[in-house]
Structure 1
């Protein structure tokens, strides 16, 4: 199949679905080494699909651990440096009609389909920049990222790929409007997005941002590897994961072209985010159960209230 037959948006969607399928496959039927490498990090490094406190057979761990090429968990902050820098790069490219952006724009526009407006593109770019800056500041000022904890290098690579795709996904489905607008900056019309859908999208987005910040502040205030119990942690194992999903739901709603409820590419990003974080939340539940007792988390949802 000719790679050029796929649009940039479809390549981004393919990345989200392929990595999401890989994660699910590891969780359901992956070998022990992959479960340890992908699903385990920080205190759960030696847990395979369960909790870090769960002891694996010595031979299994001996086989699995040498295959783990790790990077410090503190490298987590690099995801948000990447996100912010790419937001700045695409802002310059799109506002000046740079060669890289325009090549992608023409490629995407040739595929046809409904387009976001240039005002939507500006809004989505601002939302993504806000998310990247907020998470970057949380990593610097709030979260405790230990250099002693580690994560698998392939997890780090996949996450960097995710933010690269996200930096494109927030504007690529606006290529039709970008191509038809000689001066995108002059064409901005805030009143064109002053509607109920944008309002609902911003409620989801900002609520998720607030909940995530509150959750990370509570986690940072705890003794190392303690059981969180304040705020939404009373009801959900990982409310900061729930918050992340709300953020991406807001993005997918705000970026929907006319005639659609959600932006297709950002819906794929949302599904990827939920899949990855739902599995991590289940792993966290198992770890909490073994460390603090199953009764401590029995009445809590993993990530999605009343569902999972």
Structure 2
């Protein structure tokens, strides 16, 4: 094993460990500190946010504008362009660039964020981590020649459908009176079809290399928690409305 292979091996071990730490953190926060997993309409500031609270509490519970979601996709667009420059014949490099640019456009020009729409600072850090690791993982696997160079028709169709549907669902959300109940399209079936679309997008990458299963596991776990938070919010906010039975995946969750 030469030095380059050894470095790649340790980098792979390193980012796998970050996924394990991240998944463990989500599990712990879900049961002990659920407010850290809330953002947007599900985020309700509590006493630690008071100006007279101890400094450590104000720092621990600090928030940032939810509109900074766009930073994740600006970063991913930049990194995916680097990957595409080096591996312009790779379908997956094009797919990730398309996904990053589309989401950057949506978070900048489609989604609407109010000044009170916030997220915990840890969400911001985790988003930067995820899209950095996503592109690092793809770069390593492309460098190793371990990613299929042929476009896979069925996964590509799933990717395209999920991308189109996610854009449509974000348009639906952008037209709503803030924090009201969406009832169009797949919102009639699950509370968060835009999260389901994200899961499908990352599932469509796995046939190119099984290493991308890490991405799917993280996205599914993280968004499942968020989807349940959204469903709980809708159930309590609209007790007389027809809130979908499932949060993210029909007949499952």
Q: If the TM-score is normalised by the length of the shorter chain, which range does it land in?
A: 0.7 to 0.9
Unaligned stretches of 5+ residues in structure 2: 1-5
What's the offset of the Cα at 1:173? Answer: 2.0
Pick aligned residue for 1:227 from 154, 178, 181: 181
TM-score, structure 1 normalization = 0.71
The one-character-per-residue Cα deviations of 1:251-295 (angstroms, maximum 9, x if unpaired) are 122x22xxxxxx22x101100000000000000011111110176
| 1:132 aligns to 2:100 (yes or no) | yes
Q: Distance in 1 between matches of 2:181 and 2:79?
A: 36
Aligned residue for 1:303?
A: 248
TM-score, normalised by the number of residues in structure 2:
0.86
Alignment of 1:174-213 (within 5 A): 174-177=142-145, 193=150, 198-213=152-167
Larger radius of gyration: 1
8 Å CA contact 1:9–1:173 kept in 2: the answer is no
Q: Deviations over 1:126-168 (max 9, x none)?
A: 1000000010111122110233321111210111000000012
Q: Distance in 2 between matches of 1:248 and 1:274?
A: 9
Local SS of the residue matching 2:145: helix
Cα 1:65–1:124, aligned 2, differ >3 Å: closer, same or farther?
same
Gaps (5+ residues) in structure 1? 48-55, 96-117, 179-189, 257-262
Q: Which residue of 2 aligns with 1:149?
A: 117
Separation of aligned partners in 2, 1:303 and 1:267: 19
CA RMSD of aligned residues (A): 2.7
Runs of at least 4 residues off by over 4 Å: 3-6, 58-65
* Pairing partner for 1:76 from 69, 93, 115: 69
CA distance in structure 2 between the partners assigned to 1:10 and 1:201 by the alignment: 27
